[in-house]
Amino acid sequence: MSDAAALPGQPRGFVVSGPATERAVNVLAPNPSAMTLDGTNTWLLSEPGSGLAVVVDPGPLDEGHLRHVVDTAEKLGKRIALTLLTHGHPDHAEGAGRFAELTGTAVRALDPALRLGDEGLGAGDVVTVGGLELRVVPTPGHTSDSLSFHLPADRAVLTGDTVLGRGTTMVAHPDGRLGDYLDSLRRLRSLTVDDGVHTVLPGHGPVLEDAQGAVEFYLAHRASRLAQVETAVGAGHRTAAEVVAHVYADVDRSLWPAAELSVRAQLEYLRERGLI
């Protein structure tokens, strides 16, 4: 058995539904897969003593899951007052419309196409509900519309798919761009250094207790993969598929399509900088 404290980011262990911090409760969606890990983490956030709650990423269009999120809030004596999205991928956002019907809430997101209501989300926005404060942090790269949410009272950050609780994420080329992703990781690192963030509440996988360690691991991993891709191209592997077969030979083949998206993003990044 692995020692969690020795793993990048110090994962808490198994992914479970239930309290994660003083203000955050996870409701795990029943959609496990190679891409979604244990399933989508739907986050229920509320200030202690408040009767209002915010939900981040209601998840897939699964009626049982959506109702379970509502039931969880009600058992805690909370009324869901707002829904937020980290990004528009279906495993995070497909259920948002139905969830809005169940809760009567607006849905706020960076992408106007995902919003239900007049308000969106953007850099520097501060969302306050029932005394709870969430600061919007733009973290494009996985997708162009990716956001993270800084929860200062818990010294935590909700990262969607930008940082996962286990493994690494993909850059969903062409919408996702590697340069943007690296900038986003540096932005998250600044939260750990300057704002004291130590906990990552990810969109998939277990809670991470060492946010700075997780982000540093991601940055080092990206630098290593870039070097491998550059070397592979120099050795004559020209197409994204060829590079994947060479660089990701030790990765489960079911993940190669996602790896190819990341490789396309890496090739674009290297070409833009005249490195290949």
Q: Which residues are catalytic?
A: 91
Residue 185 CB neighbours (<10 A): 22
Amino acid at the residue 146: S
> From CA 33, how far away is CA 13, in angstroms rounded?
18
Residue 182 CB neighbours (<10 A): 18
> From CA 56, how far away is CA 8, in angstroms rounded?
24
- 57 within 8 A of 220, measured Cβ to Cβ: no
- Report the candidate in 240, 275, 273 with the shortest Cα–Cα distance to residue 258: 240
Q: State how far the alpha carbon of 148 is from the alpha carbons of 8, 162, 198, 229, in Å.
A: 20, 8, 14, 28
- 36 within 8 A of 204, measured Cβ to Cβ: yes
- 110 within 8 A of 139, measured Cβ to Cβ: no
Tokens 């955050």 found at: 24
- Report the candidate in 47, 124, 118, 60 with the shortest Cα–Cα distance to residue 88: 60
